[in-house]
Structure 1
Amino acid sequence: METNNTVTAERFLAFLKCPTKAYFLAHGEPLPETYFSNVEKEITSRYKLRAWRMLQDRNEPAKPLTFEQMADGDSLATTTRWFECDTAVLDSSLSRNGVAELCTRKSVVDVPIVPVVFTPWEKPTLSDNLLLCFGALALSQSTGIHSEIGMLFFGDNLRQKTVRFSDHAEEFNQIINAIGTIPPGGQEPQCILNEHCAVCDFQLKCRTIAIERDDLSLLSGMAPKERRKTLAKGIQTILQLSYGYRPRRRRRTKPDAERAARSVDTHHIHPSSRHDNKLKALAIKKSRIHVVGTPSLNLCGVPVFIDVEGMPDRDFYYLIGLRFDSFDEQIEHSFWAAENFKLVVAST
């Protein structure tokens, strides 16, 4: 098991998604489920192999270099090497200044080694840039070789992007310092549910912890800023928050005006009533469903239900499903994309 100061690329990326996940990985917590991580690793591995073949076809002279190969002395080769940042290992206790070290440290050898990251997605994220910074710092720490820029390869067409590390210095420093403050084994981590939970291997474990603690992060609609304000008031659980709910007083109106108010649709309900986290906390506490206002549906014509599936990083939607009633019979259509922006009927 790695020490608290030893940070692998996997643990670094995990911290960017969720500090609790990084804690579990740092202390060797067994994965309750490995489906999502296996799928992600398989996609990335296949993409990387394909990317290297494409680079060879382009007569790219650079050769791949992993952290283990660099430790064995392969980094001293005379040819240009591309250091794969997802294999990097860093000692955070020696890198409190993070990227600031890269801006001042000079290379002890004149060897062309460039940190690289391969991502199969069409839209690179900030995590990809920060992983490049992580690899560059690990390279500098272990060999003294200094890099100011890294290369990011992404998408089906293997597009290329140059990342300058100084652009991310401040944020990267904060992350490295935060990773160094992860509590040691035996101490319970702070468990905050977030968007990554849907594809996390620790999803069930974290949700169980959150339910046991009655944690505020169970309210998925509560923004982090609002959660911090609530905690600052001393409200730490769903139960405590639920006691703060006060229903809005209804204004006294004449009978005609009251009937008109009842017929108003839910879109005209006051926003604070529609998204009241205190009311949601009350619903969780009582295990009830609360309906705000008096919704009314006036459907004219034939109701049509639409379902769209796609790939968000490519802005590409490959399936549109339709379902409707026709003469007491349910009709379904599936429109599959043969190519981008071209749809054909696949099934009826």
Structure 2
Amino acid sequence: MKITNEILEAHLNCNTKGLRKLAGESGTKSDYEMMSTEARQASREAAVAKLVARIPDASRGVPVTVETLKEGKLLLADATLEDEAMSLHLEALKRSEGASKLGDHHYVPVLHVNGVKVGTRERLFLAVFGLALSGVQGFRPAVGLVICGPEGRPARVELDGKLYGQAEQALGELKRIQAGGEPSRLVLNKHCQQCEFRQRCHEEAVKADEISLLSGVGEKELKRYNRKGIFTLTQLSCSFRPRRRSRRSPPLEKRQHALHAMAIRDRRIYLFWGAEPPRQSRPGLPGHGRAAGLTDKPNA
């Protein structure tokens, strides 16, 4: 399959989801995911309609080719960009001054965002659109535009070299898999809660004894464990070494992932530097003040 907006979005959320979408697979979508898709589509239609109404010299539903871009329209809405590997749908392309293969002008990509926040994923989307657009107009745009919500409030996003590098890496990974390359390793993340493949991925992760089954482990920690030769929960559980703590040292608040893995392996509950249970006593008897959370000694 060609790389589409849906496949690109899936890949930016999760490498495994992007692989399965690229293979044409589908799962069971949650009610939340379906409602979010419908709300985003309605918001997008309203925002694009308002954008077209504000610009008189606009075309809608045109393919992105050298010929159409040379016409110099101020706005191209609902544009489609296709090549041998990709078939992307762009909310709009806006004309900007500056020399390119088209002449004295070029185009910048316009992306719709359902909310008011422009995150990393939206910036990467714009950078991918900029890369694809540069193959047609011979110029890589330095900025992109975002229209937020159904009102279509515009926002400007700088497309620097670092962002383009990340976009090239994402596209390169998809094209590598598209050409039959080895898929990346399954890693669970926050997106799994709303993903259509969540049940299937969880079963595969359990079978593989995947460390990402621990909800608090992030991508950086996974890489750190892998550099040490730790790839499974069982291996991580064997790395736990309790350290002796002095009385003056503050309580340890950092989560111990190795201890969590050991608890899963042994099917037991462990207390790490746990507090003593309160004493049961009646008023007037020794120990009552301590049981009530009081003490006759000043805090250290």
The TM-score normalised by the length of structure 2 is 0.73
Partner of 2:260: 280
Residue 281 of structure 1, CA deviation: 0.3
Deviations 1:13-41 (A, max 9, x none): 22221111111111112223364543333
Q: Quote the residue 2:116 is aligned against.
A: 122
Alpha-carbon displacement from aligned partner over 1:288-325 (angstroms, at most 9, x marks no partner): 33333037699xxxxxxxxxxxxxxxxxxxxxxxxxxx
Contact 1:114 1:151 in 2 (8 A): yes
Q: Partner residue of 2:206? A: 211
The unaligned stretches of length 5 or more in structure 1 are 94-104, 254-260, 262-267, 299-348
2:167 to 152, 168, 172: 172
CA gap 1:114/1:241 in 2 versus in 1, 3 angstroms: closer
What RMSD in Å do the two structures reach over aligned CA positions?
3.5
The structure-2 alpha-carbon separation of the partners of 1:280 and 1:62, relative to structure 1 and needing over 3 Å to count, comes to farther
Aligned counterpart, 2:271:
291
- Cα deviation, residue 143, structure 1: 5.9
> Offset of 1:118 from its aligned partner?
0.8
1:206-234 Cα shifts (integer Å, max 9, x gaps):
11111110011111212322222212222
Q: Among residues 230, 249, 252, which one is paired with 2:225 in the alignment?
A: 230
Q: 1:204 to 1:198 in 2, by over 3 A?
A: same
Corresponding position: 1:22 with 2:14: no
**What does residue range 50-199 of structure 1 map to in structure 2 within 5 Å?**
50-56=46-52, 59-63=54-58, 65-66=60-61, 69-70=63-64, 75=69, 77-84=71-78, 88-89=81-82, 91=84, 106-108=100-102, 113-142=107-136, 147-155=141-149, 157-166=151-160, 168-182=163-177, 189-199=184-194
Separation in structure 2 between the aligned mates of residue 14 and residue 47 of structure 1, nearest angstrom? 20
Match of 1:344 in 2: none
Give the share of equivalent positions with the same residue, in percent: 26
**Is contact 2:44-2:149 (8 Å) kept?**
no
1:264-305, CA deviations, whole angstroms, 9 ceiling, x for partnerless residues?
Answer: xxxx53235xx111110011112333333037699xxxxxxx
**Change beyond 3 A, Cα 1:244–1:183:** farther
For residues 124 and 31 of structure 1, the distance between their equivalents in structure 2, rounded to whole angstroms, comes to 28
CA distance in 1, matches of 2:181, 2:26: 15
SS of 1:123's equivalent in the other structure is coil
